[in-house]
Chain A
């Protein structure tokens, strides 16, 4: 099936540790995104990448890092510098602009809990 795969679904991290969340897409999409969602809140953009080997900070990039070495992969590292990392993390991707908009599709998300 075509889509976006995030792993792991649930992850526990000790304070002071870095953790990497995986995001893979087989939709041949150029752009990929990472969002964070806190309980009862909307989505906030962490990082995005429009093309391989290039990425930009979103609204809440502090304490996070990303890489885009391959078109299909956009891993997110939550570093120990992120003060409140416990949240639901969503990866998304979008293909090239068409004549009728350009839809973003989401993965199923990863729950990160700091213990």
Chain B
């Protein structure tokens, strides 16, 4: 898996869009960008993933730069329940040995 760099923590006001950045400058052409989040004492929850194009689902949007060296996860209307640690992972889609998780970004949604 390519190395990813994320800020340690971020704050966002409830109801605003939360934009979480991730740098993956050494990503290879066939590696996907995956995002997971983990609420305290729970298992990581899959959010979204992408390869080249921007992606959107019911939880979030993923914006990948044209050179694929960075990406941004967008939670359009953050709620208090979105407070969690968010992990950005660059990985081959189908690698047998699982995922490499760093320390992620601790997103705190402020009321």
Contacts and interface: CB of A to CB of B under 8 A. Distances in A.
B96 A104 contact: no
B43 A48 contact: no
Contacts of B94: 97, 101-102
Contact of B42 (A35, A102, A109): A109
A35 B51 contact: no
Nearest to A4: B43
A41 B96 contact: no
A56 interface: yes
B49 A103 contact: yes
A48 B96 contact: yes
Contacts of A35: 98, 101
Contact of B103 (A41, A56, A92, A102): A41
Contacts of A31: 96
B98 A45 contact: yes
Q: Chain A at the B interface: mostly helix, strand, loop or mixed?
A: strand
B1 to A, nearest CB: 11
Nearest to B96: A50
Contacts of B41: 88, 109, 111
Interface string B15-55: 00000000000000000101010000111111001010000
A48 B34 contact: no
Interface in A42-63: 42-43, 45, 48, 50, 56, 58
A69 to B, nearest CB: 20
9 contacts: A31-B96, A40-B103, A42-B104, A56-B97, A97-B94, A98-B93, A103-B49, A109-B43, A111-B41
A103 B46 contact: yes
B99 interface: yes
A40 to B, nearest CB: 8
Interface in A74-115: 88, 90, 92, 97-98, 100-109, 111
A101 B90 CA distance: 11
